[in-house]
Chain A
Amino acid sequence: MAVAIVLLIIVIVSVLLSFFSPWQFTEIASNWGHIDNTVILTFWICGIVFALIGVFMVYTTWKFRYRKEARADYEPENPRLEWWLTVVTTIGVVAMLAPGLIVWNDFVNAPDDAQEVEVLSRQWQWAFRFPGEDGKFGTVHVDNITLDNPFGMNKSDPNGDDDVLITDNTVHLAVDQPYKIWLRSNDVLHDFWVPEFRAKMDSVPGMVTYFWFTPTRIQEKPYEVLCAELCGQNHFQMRGWVKVDTREDFDGWLAGQQTWAQMQAGVVPKSYSPLARRGREFAESTGCLVCHSLDGKAMIGPTWLDLWGTERTLADGSTVMVDEAYVVESIRDPNSQVVEGFAPAMLAYDESTVSDADIEALVALLKEEVSADESGATAPEAPAEAPTP
């Protein structure tokens, strides 16, 4: 008896939850309404089957519970019934599959008028590339990648000069414009997903993948980009933003972005003392700058600009002065002193990866990473003991 009642409650609650749960899909903002429709179709077919089986079980467990004097039927099989069930199931499956495949056919064939945009993913940031006025992407190669050239642009390819490169995790798109998104990864698998657009696809290092959609809804707050494929320890921090604009706003925004040619022209090597230069090179080659910026922007970790000698508030409310001891601690056991507002996300580095000499160089770098307006006033101390580079 208890079984039948509990099963009944479970069926009822499950059905109710399906209709009245506070957790629903986000409001759609792309052309993929048909994806939602296939989900809804599947939901109805499966929901009805669930309810029928559930109710049937409630009835049987209540009606045919054990009685001493009762005897079960002896019915090894019933070919007619079994055939009927098989046929009906097959029909239900086809009813879900056929529309699904039609929409999938749509999904894999981008329209001819789609604009091409490249999404470059790397641990743990998003970058975007528009092909520029010539409509052609410049060629790229992993070997070309440096901190100043995250896309690995091929400098000798003129097609790349007018490519517009966006590296701050935020991209704008024009409303009602179909986009064919080319996905590329520098390191591991990632997956570009904006829940409101429904569509998603993995980016795979060593190859280029794609999907397409048309943004259809302009919204004040930008749409959040999530990484939907585990990509390492900071997977969950790999967020970005897509702002859908009117065509005019979008064109204005795009015109204000730097092309690859402008970026190359604008790169002015900063002058460092020899030890700090070594620190900078070390930071680049070891990957510190993936999470720590040198321009004041907060990334996964705090920026290094104007960091030295300041007072920092930690997650537990205590404060600490950024000095050598703090830097050492932050490298050897980073999660013991996490600055307020950041997740304990950094890997610990031991002597074999970051030697004491390396830390010394990093400290020198930190001391020289100060904002431009003060830099004239506070000249770096002369590094007397600097090793020859």
Chain B
Amino acid sequence: MAQAEIPYQEAIPLHDPHTWITKYWFSQDHKVIAVQYGITAIAVGLVALVLSWIMRTQIGFPGLFDWIDPELYYQSVTMHGMIMVIYLLTAFLLGSFGNYLVPLMLGARDMVFPFVNMISYHVYLASVIILMLGYVPGMEGPTGAGWTLYPPQAILTGTPGADWGILTMLASLAVFIVAFTMGGLNYITTILQARTRGMTMMRMPLSIWGIGMATVLGLLAFPALFVSAIMMTLDNVLGTSFFMPAINSLEIGEDYAGGSPLLFQHLFWFFGHPEVYIVALPAFGVVSDLISVHARKNIFGYRLMVWAIVAIGGLSFIVWAHHMYVAGMHPYFGFFFATTTLIIAVPTAIKVYNWTLTLWRANIRFTVPMLFAIAFVITFVVGGLTGLFLGNVIVDVPLSDTYFVVAHFHMVMGVAPILVIFGGIYHWYPKITGRMLNDTIGLWHFWITFIGTYAIYFPMHFLAIPRRYYQYDIGESTILTPSMEILNVSITLTAYVVGIAQFLFIYNLIVSYRKGREAGDNPWEANSLEWCTPQTPPVHGNWGERLPTVHRWAYDYSVPGQERDFIPQDVPREAQA
């Protein structure tokens, strides 16, 4: 045979760490790296939470706190958006879930290149630190250009943070992309080349499909952001004119000529739209597993779910300009992009149907992770359906840049993936720590978060006022009606409550680590491989001497004629019954 035999992973020696530093800080164990990613992402997410309070305070009670000036407001809007999308959602779903689940669910020892994996986390940490350098006292503060960072305004004086702020932002993004690439290469190579015996692609849990496809999207989409970050930095620092046409800003003739602001928008959204699915696909995958496990029923239509993930991933590269219907691009693009955008609704709808059909004739255990999963489905349905408004080019015309858009994307890629992250944490915390999270606190956290976010974002769809306004009531303006003011106040108050509830969750994470109920190896009676480790929490190398062998898909729940209602993946076929 011409092909060389690749040795199974058992043959590769494992170097156990010996010092505290190599065990907990510069660890090469994917599980430790996952936790590091998770803690960092949650920490930076709390910053974003406080920023959202600042902006909601201004919108709910304009003029009440004069320290919230337009500069602070726009900086908070920008940083909140960027942190949430990149440094929390992307980092958590791929960096944390990806790192933790990929080797465990595939029956691998670790990622294929643990050293690169370790570097990946520390580069990510560096990107977070660089991002926060925007707040260094004495400098002008972070950028206030909106998370889309559209030039020319992002680097002109009329925008807060047009020098230091935007440079730290762009540098941080570039560094983040380096970190992501190192992690992403690892995930893909592991999924393709390091599965255990018997683990075919079509036996992988949907979490892995979602994470894997999202990583492919990331590796192909982040280059666009990387390159545009480089070009915008050059425009700002060296005075090149990639994105800058001839401009006269605030009566000052700028020394630019001939660039194209639309080029940036195209590049940004060529990254930005797949980014939506970079966040959504892992959430889709994880939630499929949560629903299946806790409904005690196989996921309905597994094969279609897989193909839907692949189709959504592929289509996500040809829909980007639906963010630019009214951006001044050639109007005929609208026909093409509206069509592709609505096509993507079909596989997405199929996923929703299959989640709900999984519940049909199930035996649903309403555990905290399951509650979050159900909340995800309903939230995602609302966010997905409002996406059909915005994706249809003419319907988007009156709605673009209004609160309808804010409500839509918060529902679909803000709250929905966050709910999955919570659900996932409640689900896998017992595996990570060996202890259960406290259910009572968990239920409080769930109800406040779910109902609160729904109460924040559902009514927001009806606010037909422009987004990114520091203040509405100016001069003789009548756009903000009294009933809208009441709504704004109620949204703000709800946002405070929901925000505070997140501290309950953090309290739960900390306390349960020491005081939580012992979990055992498989508290949810789940099938996928991570629950079959010989120890809980799994030790370095995960599996002991020999890797597990997989004999079935991950969804053999309630198989007729079986005594138990679940059959783990490593149970041989002949051993059942």
User: What is the interface of chain A, defined by CB distance below 8 A to chain B?
Assistant: 2-3, 6-7, 10, 14, 17, 21-26, 32, 34-36, 38-39, 42-43, 45-46, 49-50, 53-54, 56-57, 60-61, 64-67, 70-78, 81-82, 85-86, 89-90, 93, 96-97, 100-101, 103-105, 107-108, 122-124, 141-143, 145-147, 152, 183, 186-189, 191, 193, 195, 198-207, 209, 221, 224, 226-237, 239, 284-287, 289-290, 315, 335, 338, 343-345, 347
**Is the Cβ of B459 less than 8 Å from the Cβ of A21?**
yes
Chain B residue numbers with a CB within 8 Å of A82 are 301, 304, 350, 353-354
Chain A neighbourhood of B576, CB < 8 A: none
What is the bound-complex CA distance between A123 and B262, given in angstroms?
19
Report chain B residues within 8 Å CB of A75: 298, 300, 361
- Residue of A86, A143, A198, A345 near B397 (CB, 8 A) is A198
Which residues of B, 442-479, contact A by the 8 Å Cβ criterion?
447, 451, 454, 458-459, 462-464, 466, 468-472, 474-479
Q: Which residues of A contact B356 (CB under 8 A)?
A: 53, 56-57, 60
Nearest-CB distance from A98 to chain B (Å)? Answer: 10
Q: How far is the CA of A42 from the CA of B474 in the complex (A)?
A: 33
Chain B nearest CB from A78 CB (Å) reads 7
Q: Contact at A97–B339, with CB atoms within 8 Å?
A: yes
By the criterion CB–CB under 8 Å, are A61 and B70 in contact? no
Closest to B325 in A: A104
Q: Judge whether B388 and A145 touch: CB under 8 Å.
A: no
- The CA of A203 and the CA of B152, in the complex, are separated in Å by 12
Contacts of B301 in A (CB 8 A): 76-78, 82
Given contacts A100-B393, A228-B400, A230-B468, 7 further A-B contacts (CB under 8 A): A42-B392, A61-B364, A66-B366, A74-B298, A96-B342, A124-B158, A229-B150
Tell me if B195 is interfacial: C-beta within 8 Å of chain A.
no
**Binary CB contact string for chain B from 347 to 385 against chain A (1 if under 8 A, 0 otherwise):** 001101110110111111110000100100110011001
* A-B interface, 4 closest residue pairs, ranked by CB to CB distance from nearest: A206-B245, A287-B250, A232-B158, A108-B331
A57 to B363: give the CA distance in the assembly, Å.
Answer: 14
Q: How far is the CA of A24 from the CA of B465 in the complex (A)?
A: 11
Judging by beta carbons under 8 Å apart, are A35 and B364 in contact?
no
Q: Is the CB of B298 within 8 A of A76?
A: yes
The CA of A192 and the CA of B568, in the complex, are separated in Å by: 60
User: Given known contacts A71-B363, A230-B468, is B249 in contact with A207 (CB within 8 Å)?
Assistant: no
Shortest C-beta distance, B337 to chain A (Å), equals 11
Residues of B contacting A67 with CB < 8 Å? 363
Q: How many residues of B contact A (CB 8 A)?
A: 117
Q: What's the least CB distance linking A135 to chain B, in Å? A: 24
User: Could you write out 9 A-B pairs with CB less than 8 Å apart?
Assistant: A49-B381, A64-B361, A64-B363, A86-B350, A146-B251, A202-B327, A204-B261, A226-B466, A236-B470
* In the bound complex, CA of A142 to CA of B70 (Å): 28
**B439: Cβ under 8 A from any A Cβ:** no
CA of A36 to CA of B399 in the docked complex: distance in angstroms?
11
In the complex the two chains form, what is the Cα distance from A21 to B460 in whole Å? 11
Q: In the assembled complex, which residues on chain A have CB atoms less than 8 Å from the CB atom of B334?
A: 104, 108
**Interface residues, chain B, CB within 8 Å of chain A?**
66, 69-71, 74, 144-146, 150, 152-153, 156-160, 245-253, 258-262, 295-298, 300-304, 326-328, 331-332, 334-335, 338-339, 342-343, 345-346, 349-350, 352-354, 356-357, 359-366, 371, 374, 377-378, 381-382, 385-386, 388-389, 392-395, 397-402, 447, 451, 454, 458-459, 462-464, 466, 468-472, 474-479, 481, 483-484, 487, 555, 557-560, 565
Task: Please state if A233 and B345 are interface contacts (CB–CB under 8 Å).
Answer: no
The answer to whether A145 and B474 touch (CB under 8 A), given A66-B365, A74-B298, is no
Across the interface, which residues of A come within 8 angstroms of B558, CB to CB?
71-74
- B328→A25 contact, CB < 8 A: no
Taking each of A96, A189, A205, which has the highest tally of chain B beta carbons within 10 Å of its own beta carbon? A205
A247 to B: closest C-beta gap in Å = 26
Q: Cβ of A23: which chain B residues have Cβ within 8 Å of it?
A: 459, 462-464, 481, 483-484, 487
Which B residues lie within 8 Å of A224 (CB)?
477-479
Q: Which of A23, A45, A90, A201 has most chain B Cβ within 10 Å?
A: A23
Known: A86-B350, A236-B472. A39 touches B153 (CB 8 A): no
Instruction: Report how far A143 CA is from B255 CA in the complex, Å.
Output: 10
- Measured CB to CB, the closest approach of chain B to A334, in angstroms, equals 9
User: What is the distance, in angstroms, from B421's C-beta to the closest C-beta of chain A?
Assistant: 20
Residues B462 and A187 in contact, CB atoms below 8 Å apart: no
Chain B residues with CB under 8 A of A226: 466, 479
